[in-house]
Amino acid sequence: ADRAMSMSKRVLVAGGGIIGCLSAMVLAERGWRVSLIDQGVLGGESSWAGGGILFPLLPWNYTEPVNQLALAGASQYLMLCEQLLAITGIDPQYQACGMRIMPNYGDEAALQWCQAHGIAAEKKLEKQVESLWLPQVAQVRNPRLMQALQAFLLARGVQIFENVALAPLQAEEGRLTAWSSIGGLRF
């Protein structure tokens, strides 16, 4: 009953980066009719520049809620990449390649944080420079991830609108009535 009810519901996701595409993916999997709109091309802005980075730099300098969110997201990527490969045939190229952090990374605070969060860490000394090595940190190839996400969304019937800028929201009596593009498309 929930699936039948949600099939009649439509949603517009504004922004076609990794977050927008993943949101559209989850909604489509739950039976929603999804339209995804981006003012540029899918994954063409921040996702193109850093969408494959799955671990924050110097996470011990962030608040705990930010770290919990970042670590929870990073922990899902292997399964996501396997799912996308199985469904689309496009490999996002998940790779646990590790991350080396050069001085001044915070020495003992960094090691304590890693231990508290179950992140393997070791100090390395190379050419008289001490660095911190995090061998479990992974990355994905962001262009491949975006290709796989786009193929998945299209296969699930998501309508994708690229190079379409949205106009300001239109509301009457405090209720959203329409959302139009600058070019005249109406959602």
pLDDT in tens, 57-90: 899 999 999 999 999 999 999 999 999 999 999 9
How many other CB atoms sit within 10 Å of the CB of residue 27? 20
pLDDT band with cut points at 50, 70 and 90 for residue 167 = confident
pLDDT > 70 in the chain, percent: 93
Which one-letter amino acid corresponds to residue 179?
W
Provide CB contacts within 8 A for 36, sequence distance 6+.
Answer: 12, 13, 16, 20, 21, 24, 42, 153, 158, 159, 160, 161
Q: CA-CA distance, 11 to 33, in Å (whole number)?
A: 6
Q: CA-CA distance, 110 to 165, in Å (whole number)?
A: 42
Q: CA-CA distance, 35 to 90, in Å (whole number)?
A: 22
Q: Locate 127 and state its tokens.
A: 């050419």
The average pLDDT across 93-101 equals: 95
pLDDT in tens, 4-26: 554 569 999 999 999 999 999 99
Q: How many residues does the chain have?
A: 187
Q: Locate 14 and state its tokens.
A: 């504004």
Omega within 30 of 0 (cis) for the link into 104: yes
- End-to-end, the C-alpha distance of the chain in Å comes to 26
Q: Locate 104 and state its tokens.
A: 């001044």
Structure confidence at residue 3 (pLDDT): 53
SS3 assignment, position 166: strand
Structure confidence at residue 149 (pLDDT): 97
The whole-model pTM stands at 0.83
Q: Answer whether residue 186 shows pLDDT above 70.
A: no
Structure confidence at residue 6 (pLDDT): 47
Strand 33-37 to strand 95-96: parallel, antiparallel, or no bridges (unpaired)? unpaired
pLDDT band with cut points at 50, 70 and 90 for residue 2 = low
Q: CA-CA distance, 5 to 10, in Å (whole number)?
A: 11
Share of the chain residues as helix, strand and coil, in percent rounded to the nearest 5: 40, 25, 35
Structure confidence at residue 105 (pLDDT): 84
Q: CA-CA distance, 80 to 86, in Å (whole number)?
A: 10
Structure confidence at residue 67 (pLDDT): 94
Structure confidence at residue 119 (pLDDT): 95
